[in-house]
């Protein structure tokens, strides 16, 4: 059903007239031209499309627009504060925790969501927190190290 959906996207108010059954992923990538959020599987199995909704890591390919109204949506494009990268972004760069980079936005958003609940995670907790995000290049080792580094950096918050 067509509906006007109002929400906050990367800190700015957005009002869209859309079919509210459409998934957030396609609205972000097409209507809003924010292509940092990736399609990887379309069924919530790979995590490439992860965004934050009210601070929680969510699969945008499984999130209909009707559930987005009134929420705060953050995508990879909105994670940094201007030129200052989020500690997770900074740590991914510093650890070279990426290769082809396609899964990276979803990994970073998942990690950001995870760290907000687990400020002092063990390696095992990081592993389980990232478990349902897939990477094919095999950057896993460095991603875990990056998330651990980001956790330390974020002691003072971001």
Q: Does 37 bind another protein (CB under 8 A)?
A: yes
Least distance CB 110 / another protein (angstroms): 11
Max alpha carbon distance in the chain (Å)? 45
Which of 17, 115, 6, 140 is closest to 70 using CA atoms? Answer: 6
* Selected binder of another protein within 72, 118, 140, 158 (CB under 8 A): 140
> Are the CB atoms for 23 and 65 separated by under 8 Å?
yes
Task: Please give the DSSP secondary-structure letter assigned to residue 89.
Answer: H
With CB under 8 A as the contact rule, which of the stretches 22-30, 52-60, 66-74, 148-156 interacts with another protein?
A: 22-30
- Residue positions counted in the chain: 158
Q: Does 4 bind another protein (CB under 8 A)?
A: no
Q: How many helices and strands in the chain, by DSSP H and E? A: 5, 5
Q: Does 16 bind another protein (CB under 8 A)?
A: no
> Are the CB atoms for 41 and 23 separated by under 8 Å?
no
- Site pattern 69..108 for another protein (x: CB under 8 A): ------xxx-xx----x---xx-xxx-x-xxxxxxxx--x
Which parts of this chain interact with another protein (CB under 8 A)? 19, 22-23, 26, 29-31, 33-43, 45-46, 48, 75-77, 79-80, 85, 89-90, 92-94, 96, 98-105, 108, 126-128, 130-144
């Amino acid at each position: 059903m067509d509906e006007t959906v109002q929400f906050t996207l990367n800190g700015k108010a957005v009002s869209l007239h859309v079919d509210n059954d459409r998934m957030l992923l396609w609205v972000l990538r097409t209507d809003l031209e924010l292509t940092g959020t990736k399609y990887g599987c379309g069924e919530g199995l790979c995590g490439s499309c992860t965004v934050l909704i009210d601070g929680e890591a969510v699969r945008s390919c499984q999130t209909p627009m009707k559930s987005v109204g009134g929420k705060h949506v953050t995508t990879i494009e909105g994670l940094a504060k201007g030129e200052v990268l989020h500690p997770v972004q900074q740590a991914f760069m510093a650890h070279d925790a990426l290769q082809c980079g396609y899964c990276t936005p979803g990994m970073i958003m998942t990690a950001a969501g995870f760290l907000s609940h687990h400020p002092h995670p063990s390696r095992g907790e990081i592993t389980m927190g990232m478990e349902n995000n897939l990477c094919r290049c095999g950057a896993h080792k460095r991603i875990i190290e990056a998330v651990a580094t980001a956790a330390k950096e974020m002691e003072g918050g971001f």
